[in-house]
C-alpha cells in the first residue's frame, strides 16, 4: 500500500493518455463505419441490379417434403406399426380476418372444447402470423365433411391431411416397438449433433423409445423438396421442380403375433416378462413385459393425467421388464456355474457331496440353508441341477472363489449388455472384489461368494440376459446377440440384420457341455426334476432350469411363509427353457414377480408358450 502512494499520480498526463486513446478509438470506429458503408455501397448501388433480379427470383420457395415412415410387421407380415391419414383443422392467423368470430362460428359447426381454443390462441400469440396452426387434430369423418363444405366461408382455415403413426395391436408390442412423438429440444440437439437436422425439416415426429428409436434413421427415410412459385401472399402458384422424398425402410421383425398374444394371456394380472428367441441366430420371437400400456396415447401427445397414472402406478408399466427388469438370477445360473466347476476340475461329473440341508463355512456358526430344509442327501452335479440343490453349489462356489466365478461369468455375458436392438437396456452386475471395493468400499467376504453361488447377493441379471447366456451353453459357448428386427427393406433392396454369434469361453473338455445339457434336460424329464410337473406329457423334448429369487432375507431357522409376507416382497419365479432338447430352435425366459416358485409358476407358463410355438409352427419357415 505504501509503495503505491509513493508514485505520485500525474493526473494531467493520465488524462492526456486517455484522450489520445479515445481519439484513436473514435478513428477506428469511423474506419469500421467506412468499411460498412463501402460494403453497403457495393451491395445496394453497384450490385443493385443483380440483387434486384435475385429478389424477384426469391418468389421461388423451397418446400421440404416429409418422407413416409417405414412400417413395421411381425415375422408373418402382419402390420404392427402403420401410418394412417388423420385430418386436422388448421388456421393461418395472417389470413383470418376476425379470429374471435371465426373461432365462435367454427365451434358452432363442430365441437371444439374450450381447452383447445385456449391452447390454440396461445400458439397464435407465440408463432409467426404466416404459420399454419392446428386448432383441432384427429378430426373424424363427419367433422371433416362439415368443415370442408363450409370452408369457403372461412378464409385462412384449412383441413390438412397428415400421416400419423398407429399401432393396431395397442399394448401388445409397446415395450418392443416403443412409439414416436413430437420432436422436442433434446431430439433437436441429438439431430444437430448427428448432422441430421436438415433431413428433418418437414418431419414432426421422431422415435422416442424401443425399435422406433433404435432404427430411427432407417425408418425415417430421406426428405424430399419441391420448388414452388408463390405469389406475394405466399399462395402456391405452381410447382416448378419436385424431388420426391425417399420413404423409410420397412422393418420385418422376428416377433410373432401369436406368441405375443399367448404371452400376454399368460401374464394377465401378473407382473413379469416373457422373452423367447432362436438360440441359433438370436432372432427374438416373443418379447413381452406386463403390465403394458397403449403406445397410441403418446403419438399425439399424452395428457398429463394419463401420463401420471402410468408413471405413478405401483405396477410400473413403463418399465420394460425384459431388458430393464434387474433381478437376482437365482438358481437359473447353476448350469453356468457347474460348467466352470467342471472346467476347473473343482468337481467332476461323479463328485458327490452330502447335503444335510445347510452349508457352513469352516469355523463359522452361520448356516446357509438349502431350500429343502431336510437336505437332498448325496448329490452330484446332475442331481444338483435337476433338483436345484443349493448346498452343492455353496460348496463348489466357495472352492472356486469369486475371482474365477466373476471372470468366467463375465465372459459368458453376465454383467454386460446383450446388445438387443433397443436402447432401454439396464446395466446388470456381475460382482467382483474390485467392484465391491469401488462400490461399497468393503473387502469381499466368503459369505458374499456363498450368496453368489446360487445367483443371489450382489449378482443381478435381466430376463433377456438369462436367456442369451443360457443360449451360449446350448451353442458350445457361442453367444447370440438378440435382435427383434429381421430385415430392413426399401426400393433399393432388402438387408438382413446380422445374426452373427459371439465367441465367449474356451472349453477344455467338450464333454462338459453335454454334462450340463443332460442335467437341464433331466430337470424336465425325470421325476425329481424341478420342471417335471410343468412339462409332463409334452409332445416335444426340452430342457431348462428353474429359479426362485428370494427378495427378503429369512432369519436363521425361520420358515418362509408366503402368506405372511407383503405381496411385493414375495419370491420371483423364473424359468429358462429350450426345446427340442437336441438342436433347440427356441429358448425362452419367463420371469414373474412376487409370485412364488419357479418350478410351480414360471415353468408352466414356459410350457404353454412352447406348446403354442410347436402347435402353430412359428419357426417352421426355414
Partner 1 sequence: MNDSLVNSRHSNSRLAFFHIDTPLLLGLLALVSYGLLVLYSASGQSERMVEAQIIRLGVAFAVMIGMAQISPLTIRRWSLPLFIVGTLLLVAVLMFGHIGKGAQRWLDLGFIKFQPSEIMKLAVPMAIAWFIASHNLPPKKRHLTVGFLMCVIPTLLIAKQPDLGTAILIAAAGIFVLFLAGMSWKLITFIVALVSAFAPVLWLFGMHDYQRRRVLTFLNPESDPLGSGYHIIQSKIAIGSGGVHGKGWLQGTQSQLEFLPERHTDFIFSVLSKEFGLVGVLFLLAIYLFIIGRGLLIATRAQDNYGKLVAGSFTLTFFVYVFVNIGMVSGLLPVVGVPLPLVSFGGTSMVTMMAAFGIIMSVSTHKRSMAQT
User: Euclidean distance between the first and final Cα of the chain, in Å?
Assistant: 91
With binding defined as CB under 8 A, does residue 192 bind partner 1? Answer: yes
- The closest of 591, 584, 589, 590 to 619, measured between CA atoms, is 584
Residues 6+ apart with CB under 8 A from 568: 314, 593, 594
Residue of 270, 377, 331 lying closest to 544 (CA atoms) = 331
286 Cβ contact partners less than 8 Å away, ≥ 6 residues apart: 255, 256, 259, 260, 262, 263, 274, 275, 276, 588, 609
Binding window for partner 1 (CB under 8 A); candidates: 8-16, 298-306, 386-394, 587-595: 8-16
Give CA–CA dist 99/618, Å, rounded. 58
Verify binding: residue 237, partner 1, rule CB under 8 A: no
Q: Select 128 or 153, whichever has its Cβ closest to partner 1.
A: 128
CB-CB contact of 299 with 181 (8 Å):
yes
Provide, rounded to whole angstroms, the least separation between the CB of residue 116 and partner 1.
Answer: 22
Interface with partner 1, residue 9, by CB under 8 A = yes
**Is 305 one of the binding residues for partner 1 (CB under 8 A)?**
no
The C-alpha cell that represents 61 in the structure block: 420457395
* Stretch in the footprint of partner 1 (CB under 8 A) among 45-53, 255-263, 399-407, 557-565: 45-53
Q: Are strands 250-253 and 72-73 parallel, antiparallel or unpaired?
A: parallel
Residue 68 CB, nearest approach to partner 1 (Å) = 21
Binding residue for partner 1, selected from 59, 182, 437, 536, defined by CB under 8 A: 59
Near partner 1 by CB under 8 A, which window of 123-131, 240-248, 299-307, 614-622? Answer: 123-131
Assign 3-class secondary structure to 133-198: EEEEEEECHHHHHHHHHHHHHCCCEEEEEEEEEECCCHHHCHHHHCEEEECCHHHHHHHHHCCCHH
What DSSP designation does 346 have? Answer: S
Q: With both helix axes pointing from N to C terminus, report the angle between 334-343 and 390-400 in degrees, rounded to the nearest 10.
A: 50
Q: How far is CA 297 from CA 104, 113, 211, 514, 530, in A?
A: 29, 19, 17, 49, 42
Which stretch in 225-233, 399-407, 457-465, 594-602 sits in contact with partner 1 by CB under 8 A? 225-233
Scored b (16 or more CB within 10 A) or e, 346-368 reads bbebebebebebbbebeeeeeeb
Out of 2, 114, 125, 363, which residue is the one contacting partner 1 (CB under 8 A)? 125
* CB closer to partner 1 out of 19 and 303: 19
* Piece of 7-15, 95-103, 311-319, 573-581 that binds partner 1 (CB under 8 A): 7-15
**Given 98, 108, 126, 185, the residue binding partner 1 (CB under 8 A):** 185
> Cα separation of 299 and 322, whole Å?
23
Residue 331 designated active-site: yes
CA atoms within 13 A on the CB side of 280: 9
- Judged by CB under 8 A, which of 54, 153, 446, 511 binds partner 1? 54
The nearer residue to partner 1, 6 or 438, going by C-beta atoms, is 6
Which of 98, 108, 232, 620 is close enough to bind partner 1 by CB under 8 A?
232
Q: Does 229 bind partner 1 (CB under 8 A)?
A: no
Query: Which positions ≥6 away from 33 have C-beta within 8 Å?
Result: none
Q: Which of 114, 193, 500, 621 binds partner 1 (CB under 8 A)?
A: 193
Beta bridge partners of 578: 543, 587
- Identity of the residue, 198 or 309, whose beta carbon is nearer to partner 1 in the bound complex: 198
Q: Choose, by CB under 8 A, the member of 2, 4, 268, 491 that binds partner 1.
A: 4
In the region spanning residues 431 to 490, those forming contacts with partner 1, defined by CB under 8 A, are none
**455-490 in b/e burial notation, b at 16+ Cβ within 10 A?**
bbbbbbbbbbbbbbbbbbbbbebebbbbbbbbbbbb
- Binding-residue pattern over the window 341 to 360 for partner 1, x denoting contact by CB under 8 A: --------------------
Nearer to partner 1, 33 or 354 (CB): 33
- Choosing from 331, 388, 432, 453, the catalytic residue is 331
CA dist list (Å): 327 to 324, 431, 515: 9, 14, 27
| Contact by Cβ (8 Å): 597, 549 | no
Binder among 7, 438, 555, 558 for partner 1 (CB under 8 A): 7
Helix or strand holding residue 91 (H, E): strand 79-91
Angle of helix 99-109 relative to helix 114-126, nearest 10 degrees, comes to 150
The answer to the question of residue 128 lying near partner 1 (CB under 8 A) is yes
The answer to whether the CB of 534 falls within 8 A of the CB of 607 is yes
Give the footprint of partner 1 on residues 68-107 (CB under 8 A).
Answer: 94
Query: Residues 369-408 vs partner 1: string with x where CB under 8 A?
Result: ----------------------------------------
**Contact call for residue 188 and partner 1 (CB under 8 A):** yes
Determine, following the binding rule CB under 8 A, whether residue 559 of this chain makes contact with partner 1. Answer: no
Q: Measured between alpha carbons, how far is 271 from 316 in angstroms, rounded to an integer?
A: 9
- Part of the chain binding partner 1 (CB under 8 A), chosen from 175-183, 187-195, 285-293, 467-475: 187-195
Binding partner 1 (rule: CB under 8 A), the pick from 104, 145, 151, 198 is 198
Does residue 227 belong to the site contacting partner 1 (CB under 8 A)? Answer: no
Q: Which of residues 563-602 bind partner 1 (CB under 8 A)?
A: none
Least separation, in Å, of the C-beta of 117 and partner 1?
18
Is 5 a binding residue for partner 1 by CB under 8 A? The answer is no
Looking at the chain, how many residues does it have?
A: 622
Return the range that interacts with partner 1 (CB under 8 A); candidates 49-57, 279-287, 458-466, 578-586: 49-57
* Total of residues contacting partner 1 (CB under 8 A): 54
User: Interface with partner 1 includes 234 (CB under 8 A)?
Assistant: yes
Stretch in the footprint of partner 1 (CB under 8 A) among 226-234, 308-316, 577-585, 595-603: 226-234
C-alpha cell at 343: 472346467
32 binds partner 1 (CB under 8 A): yes
How many Å apart are CA 451 and CA 153, to the nearest integer? 77
Least distance CB 122 / partner 1 (angstroms): 13
Catalytic residues, by residue number, are 331
Report the interface residues with partner 1, using CB under 8 A: 4, 7, 9-11, 14-15, 17-19, 21-22, 25-26, 29-30, 32-33, 35-37, 39-41, 43-45, 47-48, 50-52, 54-55, 58-59, 61-62, 94, 125, 128-130, 185, 188-189, 192-193, 195, 198, 225, 232-234
Amino acid at each position: 500500500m505504501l509503495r503505491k502512494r509513493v508514485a505520485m499520480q500525474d493526473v494531467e498526463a493520465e488524462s492526456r493518455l486517455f484522450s489520445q486513446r479515445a481519439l484513436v478509438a473514435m478513428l477506428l470506429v469511423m474506419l469500421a463505419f467506412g468499411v460498412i458503408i463501402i460494403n453497403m455501397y457495393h451491395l445496394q448501388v453497384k450490385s443493385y441490379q443483380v440483387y434486384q433480379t435475385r429478389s424477384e427470383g426469391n418468389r421461388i420457395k423451397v418446400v421440404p417434403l416429409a418422407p413416409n415412415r417405414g412400417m413395421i410387421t411381425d415375422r408373418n407380415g402382419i402390420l404392427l406399426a402403420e401410418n394412417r391419414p388423420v385430418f386436422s383443422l388448421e388456421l393461418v392467423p395472417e389470413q383470418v380476418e376476425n379470429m374471435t368470430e371465426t373461432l365462435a362460428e367454427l365451434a358452432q359447426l363442430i365441437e371444439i372444447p374450450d381447452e383447445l381454443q385456449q391452447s390454440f390462441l396461445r400458439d397464435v400469440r407465440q408463432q409467426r402470423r404466416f404459420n399454419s396452426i392446428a386448432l383441432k387434430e384427429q378430426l373424424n369423418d363427419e367433422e371433416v365433411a362439415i368443415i370442408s363444405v363450409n370452408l369457403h366461408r372461412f378464409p385462412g382455415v384449412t383441413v390438412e391431411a397428415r400421416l400419423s403413426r398407429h399401432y393396431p395391436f395397442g399394448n401388445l408390442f409397446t415395450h418392443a416397438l416403443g412409439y414416436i412423438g413430437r420432436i422436442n429440444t433434446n431430439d433437436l440437439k441429438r439431430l444437430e449433433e448427428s448432422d441430421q437436422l436438415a433431413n428433418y425439416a418437414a418431419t414432426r415426429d421422431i422415435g422416442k423409445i424401443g425399435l422406433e428409436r433404435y432404427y430411427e434413421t432407417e425408418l425415417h427415410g430421406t426428405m424430399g423438396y419441391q420448388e414452388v412459385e408463390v405469389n406475394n401472399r405466399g399462395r402456391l402458384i405452381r410447382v416448378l421442380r419436385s424431388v420426391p422424398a425417399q420413404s423409410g425402410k420397412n422393418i420385418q421383425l422376428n416377433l410373432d403375433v401369436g406368441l405375443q398374444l399367448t404371452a400376454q394371456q399368460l401374464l394377465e394380472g401378473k407382473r413379469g416378462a416373457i422373452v423367447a428367441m432362436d438360440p441359433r441366430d438370436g432372432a427374438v420371437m416373443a418379447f413381452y413385459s406386463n403390465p403394458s400400456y397403449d403406445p397410441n396415447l403418446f403419438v399425439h401427445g399424452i395428457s398429463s393425467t394419463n401420463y401420471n397414472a402410468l408413471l405413478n402406478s405401483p405396477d410400473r408399466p413403463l418399465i420394460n421388464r425384459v431388458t430393464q427388469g434387474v433381478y437376482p438370477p437365482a438358481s437359473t445360473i447353476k448350469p453356468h456355474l457347474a460348467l466352470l466347476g467342471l472346467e476347473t476340475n473343482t468337481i467332476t461329473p461323479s463328485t458327490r457331496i452330502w447335503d444335510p440341508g445347510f452349508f457352513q463355512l469352516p469355523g463359522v456358526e452361520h448356516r446357509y440353508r438349502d431350500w429343502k430344509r431336510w437336505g437332498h442327501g448325496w448329490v452330484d452335479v446332475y442331481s444338483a441341477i435337476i433338483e436345484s440343490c443349493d448346498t452343492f453349489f455353496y460348496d463348489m462356489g466357495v472352492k472356486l472363489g469369486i475371482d474365477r466365478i466373476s471372470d468366467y461369468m463375465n465372459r459368458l455375458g453376465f454383467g454386460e449388455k446383450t446388445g438387443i436392438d433397443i436402447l432401454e437396456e439396464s446395466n446388470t452386475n456381475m460382482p467382483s472384489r474390485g467392484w465391491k471395493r469401488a462400490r461399497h468400499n468393503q473387502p469381499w467376504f466368503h459369505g458374499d461368494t456363498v450368496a453368489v453361488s446360487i445367483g443371489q447377493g450382489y449378482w443381478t441379471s435381466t430376463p433377456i440376459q438369462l436367456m442369451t447366456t443360457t443360449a451360449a451353453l446350448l451353442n458350445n459357448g457361442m453367444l447370440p446377440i438378440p435382435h427383434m428386427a429381421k430385415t430392413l427393406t426399401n426400393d433399393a433392396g432388402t438387408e438382413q440384420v446380422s445374426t452373427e454369434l459371439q465367441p465367449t469361453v474356451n472349453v477344455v473338455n467338450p464333454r462338459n457341455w453335454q454334462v450340463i445339457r443332460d442335467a437341464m434336460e433331466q430337470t424336465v424329464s425325470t421325476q425329481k426334476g424341478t420342471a417335471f410337473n410343468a412339462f409332463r406329457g409334452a409332445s416335444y423334448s426340452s430342457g431348462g432350469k428353474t429359479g426362485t429369487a428370494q427378495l427378503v432375507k429369512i432369519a436363521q431357522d425361520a420358515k418362509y411363509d408366503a402368506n405372511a409376507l407383503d405381496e411385493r416382497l414375495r419370491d420371483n419365479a423364473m424359468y429358462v427353457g429350450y426345446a427340442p432338447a437336441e438342436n433347440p430352435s427356441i429358448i425362452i425366459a419367463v420371469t414373474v414377480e412376487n409370485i412364488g416358485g419357479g418350478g410351480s409358476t414360471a415353468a408352466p407358463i414356459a410350457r404353454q408358450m412352447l406348446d403354442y410355438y410347436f402347435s402353430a409352427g412359428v419357426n417352421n419357415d426355414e
